[in-house]
Amino acid sequence: MTTPEVLKYTQETGDFARMLDGIPYASFIGLQCDRFGDDLIFRLPPKDANLGNPILPAVHGGVIGGFMEMAAAIYLMMSQETLRMPKIVDFSLDYLRAGLNREIFAECHLTRQGNRVANVMITAWQKSRSQPIATARAHFLLDDKET
């Protein structure tokens, strides 16, 4: 399937497996996505290869950041019906708690969209949404044409 066909299939069925299999980093860390109506919830199941501190055990901060950045890009791609991965301009991440070796969830919200740039807020949690382990802000370029 071509990229536009995979995107159309994902939008119509809500099955993200084909799309995520086509993104090497998403496959490597085990990123998963579920649709609930118009909402997307991203999941990162426990995986020993994602650990940064095996003594706690805790997920590596870079894996958490990568998971949140990928979640924001996929969220934006699905909400904008873009046929390619949006280009990241800036990503700012605040770690609030250790991400223990259990499932991590993430939720994205489009906070601002202009003609060329979109801002997305990402929250990641484990036990409860009210106790996030990290929050992030991502800015994406929607139109990568040279000016």
Q: How many structural domains does the chain have?
A: 1
| Residue 147 within a domain | no
Q: What is the pTM of this model?
A: 0.91
Output the domain CATH number for residue 51. 3.10.129.10
Residue span of the structural domain in which 98 resides: 4-141
**What are the structure tokens assigned to 114, written together?**
């202009």
Residues in the chain predicted with pLDDT less than 70, given as ranges, are 1, 81-83, 143-147
| Residue 125 within a domain | yes
Tell me what percent of the residues of the chain surpass a pLDDT of 70: 94
| CA distances in angstroms from 120 to 13, 25, 50, listed in the order given | 24, 20, 24
| Residue 58 within a domain | yes
pLDDT in tens, 68-91: 999 999 999 888 766 677 899 999
| Residue 82 within a domain | yes
- Peptide bond between residue 24 and the one before it cis (omega within 30 degrees of 0): no
| Residue 53 within a domain | yes
